[in-house]
Amino acid sequence: MASSLQALESWVDDTAARTRPARVQWCDGSDAEYAALVEQMLASGDLIELNQQTHPGCYLHRSNPSDVARVEHLTFVCTPDAADAGPNNHWMDPAEAHAKMDALFDGCMEGRTMYVVPYCMGPIDSPLSRCGVEITDSPYVVINMRTMTRMGAAAQARIEREGHFVKGLHSTGELDPERRFIMHFPDELAIKSYGSGYGGNALLGKKCHALRIASHQARREGWLAEHMLIVGIENPAGDTHYIAAAFPSACGKTNLAMLIPPEGYRREGWKVWTVGDDICWMRPGEDGRLYAINPEAGFFGVAPGTSANSNPNALASIARDTIFTNVAVTADNQPWWEGLPGEPVTDWQGRSYDPSNGPAAHPNARFTVSARQCPTWSEKAEDARGVPISAIVFGGRRPSLLPLVMQARDWTHGVLMGAAMGSETTAAATGAVGVLRRDSMAMKPFCGYHYGDYFAHWLSFDQPGAKLPAIFHVNWFRKGADGRFLWPGFGDNLRVLEWMIERVEGRARGTTTPVGILPQPAELRLEGLSLPAAHLDELLRVDEAAWQDELDAIGAYLEEFSPRLPAALAGEQQRVVEMLAARGAPTRNVASA
């Protein structure tokens, strides 16, 4: 298949000359092509057919045991000036990075097929979408990219019309951990990835393009590329508000995107619509509001923890036409992971299951599935205009201090909330309880440039005429003195989202505190929920003395991004400090007396 775009053809030819594949295949994204690749991988053992009666169209892939996750320490942002990458990224000089990668790519595809994968991130006809081409020697990557992006002939046609695209070059190489790098060249809109077949390192449309490169594009072009879910909340009157939300890992992002309302809400007619579970691109519309698309077309979700209790919609999504990676298998050849009924007989490495070898499924085992298979999938996910965002939500896992929900006073305060967000670790994970890891806007591993410049870009959207979303911070994970969670979470989080919507619509007054606007206790609908009044009081309590310490820690964290830290953000942090001091000093003096 030939391309009429000379730049694309030349790049493909140059890459083939360097990597020396046995053959080159231009991918068209068709059903026939997918079926042929699956048959090829079944024959080679790269895919294993699962129980087609219980899971039609489902297959298992087992990756190399040394290649099971993103490798952040081997992921680089390559800008001419190291300062532009910022302290939030690993940096390498572009010339050095190209030389290192080109040496690795030299002859690396001998005896293999080189696949040319044109793709579009976002609806194929949306002006908010951006295109790329990934060259890879992995058929696993091709079939996953087909699910995760709008891949094939339509994307290539758009590339030919526009004349520009992100160039992604990938090879699994020898899967040697010592010869594994992921390089990003933002100024060139290029990515080079070598030595890994794992999704986050090899599916270049995902984190590499849709966040690291796109965040750079977004800053230059006046939009936002964010690590956020997009969910629509429809009330009984049929009105829908769309919310974008950013959370670090293990904070319930996918669960919120596919939330099932509590029974009372369902009876009233409340509905939840899933637009996206991981990435959100937002751009100001002509009316001043932010409009968002989900650049992805599928879910690359973590399987362990997905169950009928935690996320029945996700479980229903993956009952057919799904690629599973590094899960276990039952005696009747069904995919299995901890939390599902039944027993595994084979673990994620293909060994007979032995508990002494660790979990049957790898903790980062994945499923790749079309978003359209989700029972709550919204047709608005294909809307070329995107959906208008009413609220932006930040959140983290904090066992104390952070209230259940608080609203920022204004946009600048909201940017501070996002910049300060983070999660506290547990003893099981780190050996130390309460170690706070800041992860501004949940973008620390994914922002393709200096965090100080990134904060400034966020602040730049506060322009005359802008109708910006309200910004909130949530904490589903606050604990009581007994160490138990105070809030039930999951579907009951809709009660908090309803309050946010009421604030957006001007129907809830809230209570103003130095750290934000909190619900008045009576403003949260709690019918059908067994929540002691003391728990609600604790969930909404603001410990002003402890918040003074928190704001000091936030100030020290932000200072890491000087001299590029925006003065407005530093000033906002000081404003909150002064408001706390004015109200908190007497309390602190009484406590010490």
Residue positions annotated with a catalytic role: 251
List strand residue ranges (DSSP E) for 190-327, in order.
Answer: 190-194, 224-226, 229-234, 240-246, 271-276, 280-284, 290-293, 298-302, 323-325
> Does 324 show up as a binding residue in the annotation?
no
DSSP designation for 245: E
> Does 254 show up as a binding residue in the annotation?
yes
> Does 79 show up as a binding residue in the annotation?
no
> Does 255 show up as a binding residue in the annotation?
yes
For residue 377, how many other CB atoms are within 10 A of its CB?
20
Cα dihedral value 445, 446, 447, 452, nearest 10: -20
> Does 490 show up as a binding residue in the annotation?
yes
Q: For residue 390, give both structure tokens.
A: 């009413």
Distance of alpha carbon 346 from its chain centroid, rounded?
30
> Does 251 show up as a binding residue in the annotation?
yes
> Does 252 show up as a binding residue in the annotation?
yes
Secondary structure (3-state) at 490: helix
**β-bridge partners, 90:** 76
> Does 397 show up as a binding residue in the annotation?
yes
> Does 475 show up as a binding residue in the annotation?
no
> Does 138 show up as a binding residue in the annotation?
no
> Does 199 show up as a binding residue in the annotation?
yes
Q: Which is it for the CA torsion 324, 328, 333, 335, positive or negative? A: negative
**β-bridge partners, 511:** 518
DSSP designation for 174: T
> Does 444 show up as a binding residue in the annotation?
no
> Does 556 show up as a binding residue in the annotation?
no
Q: Which of 260, 261, 300 lies closest to 277 in space, CA to CA?
A: 300
CA distance 329 to 352: 10
Contact between residue 453 and residue 564 where contact means Cβ atoms under 8 Å apart: yes
> Does 557 show up as a binding residue in the annotation?
no
Secondary structure (3-state) at 173: coil
CA distance 371 to 257: 11
**DSSP output for 313-325:** HHHHHTTSS-EEE
DSSP designation for 373: G
> Does 198 show up as a binding residue in the annotation?
yes
> Does 347 show up as a binding residue in the annotation?
no
Cα–Cα–Cα angle for 36, 37, 41, rounded to 5 degrees: 120
Read off the amino acid at residue 313. N
> Does 493 show up as a binding residue in the annotation?
yes
CA distance 591 to 593: 6
> Does 102 show up as a binding residue in the annotation?
no
Annotated binding site for GTP: 250-255, 366, 397, 490-493
Annotated binding site for Mn(2+): 207, 227, 278
Annotated binding site for substrate: 70, 198-200, 249, 364-366
Annotated binding site: 70, 198-200, 207, 227, 249-255, 278, 364-366, 397, 490-493
